[in-house]
Structure 1
Amino acid sequence: MARVKRLPVDPIAEARRQWLAHGWADAAPGMTLVTSIMRAQQLLLARVEATLKPFKLTFARYELLTLLRFTHEGRMPMTSASARLQVHPTSVTNTVDRLEASGHVHREPHPDDGRATLIVLTDSGRELSERATDALNAEVFEQPGLDRGDTEALVGLIARMRRAAGDFDDPRPVAEPL
């Protein structure tokens, strides 16, 4: 992946300076947060896409394959995949279409619900997910660009933001084994 030339000044810090200079002090921290997160997402996505490119996978296809791999039987209803991946059902349909065309999943009628369709992981999909996960672990996830403490702190902060936005509820406490 080609590196972009370093800028002599942080453009987000400069934008913050401009926000303050224009009298938008109340909005400056939020603007800085939003643009910082969006830029970090671009940087991480570029690393993920470069890692997945040799596997001919997008991150959406990788996520679906891996979600299926984590299930007990390598299958789940399309509606469940949509909910767990937090994407529109049309996105799951398009992703399944691509993975099905390449032989990594197939569709089956749901055995108990005639209206539902199951997505089923094939052996080639399982193997591809395993190889792609090994590559992502080595090239991205083990070294995301922050040390472990900062990584965990940032994940915690973003989880608080997601929870406040209604993304998820805190899990119910689980009893300790006796």
Structure 2
Amino acid sequence: MPSPLPHDPIAEARRQWTAHGWGEYADGMAAITSVIRAQQIFLARAEDVLKPLGLTFARYELLTLLHFTRSGALPMAKASARLQVHPTSVTNAVDRLEKVGLVRRVPHPSDRRTTLIEITADGHGLALTATEQLNTTLFSDPGLASDDLAPLLRILARLRQEAGDFDQPAQW
């Protein structure tokens, strides 16, 4: 990890925004930039845990999604929708996971046009191992005080709902 900067660059950008006559937009810019930077920090931490297991966070999410299904399989389009990523991203993740025997493509039993992604026994095992490691090293201590988590989750859920991610309000 690089050495910390002597000052907060987002706070400085906010100050500059205001100084250059864009003050009414400064808080919005700072909020969006802060969330993007926080996402980068969280993703880097998750990738540090998953890299020794041969996974990226995207591949971990797909394995875990399949692990949670009753049958261990989902249509590619449904996996894409649930992960909220472009179908090409799912195809790429499936290609990589299939090469190492963690998932396989199987024909849908009643729809010849649909291909299912099915998790293998090795995929189930790795999903559990990866989850245990993420729970222990990252999710148990995301770097935020526990009192801050519930309000943050409510705020982000409201933002995601208003952006059209889901219809029903989340229960936090």
* Preserved CA contact (<8 Å) 2:157 2:170: no
- Note the C-alpha offset of 1:129: 0.4
Query: Which portions of structure 1, spanning 4 or more consecutive aligned residues, are displaced by more than 6 angstroms?
Result: none
What percent of counterpart residues are identical?
A: 59
Residue in structure 2 matching 1:151, options 141, 145, 149: 149
Specify every segment of 5 or more residues in structure 2 that has no aligned partner in the other structure, as ranges: none
What is the alpha-carbon distance in structure 2 between the residues aligned to residue 93 and residue 7 of structure 1? 39
What is the alpha-carbon distance in structure 2 between the residues aligned to residue 36 and residue 70 of structure 1? 32
What is the alpha-carbon distance in structure 1 between the residues aligned to residue 39 and residue 128 of structure 2? 24
What is the alpha-carbon distance in structure 1 between the residues aligned to residue 150 and residue 86 of structure 2? 29
What is the alpha-carbon distance in structure 1 between the residues aligned to residue 31 and residue 169 of structure 2? 27
- Note the C-alpha offset of 1:171: 5.9
Q: TM-score, normalised by structure 1?
A: 0.93
- RMSD over aligned CA atoms reads 1.4
Distance verdict in 2 for CA 1:172–1:38, change over 3 Å: closer
Structure-2 residue corresponding to 1:58: 56
Structure-2 residue corresponding to 1:42: 40
The structure with the greater share of residues assigned to helix is 2
- Note the C-alpha offset of 1:6: 1.8
What is the alpha-carbon distance in structure 1 between the residues aligned to residue 170 and residue 27 of structure 2? 33
Aligned letter for 1:124?
A: D
What is the alpha-carbon distance in structure 2 between the residues aligned to residue 126 and residue 21 of structure 1? 54
- Note the C-alpha offset of 1:172: 10
Structure-1 residue corresponding to 2:28: 30
Number of corresponding residues: 171
Aligned with 1:23: secondary structure? helix
What is the alpha-carbon distance in structure 1 between the residues aligned to residue 170 and residue 35 of structure 2? 29
What is the alpha-carbon distance in structure 2 between the residues aligned to residue 103 and residue 47 of structure 1? 26
Q: Where do 1:1-178 residues align within 5 Å?
A: 3-170=1-168
Aligned with 1:67: secondary structure? helix
- Note the C-alpha offset of 1:151: 1.3
Aligned letter for 2:3?
A: K
- Note the C-alpha offset of 1:31: 0.4
Aligned with 2:105: secondary structure? strand
Q: Deviations over 1:63-101 (max 9, x none)?
A: 000000000111111111010000111111111011000
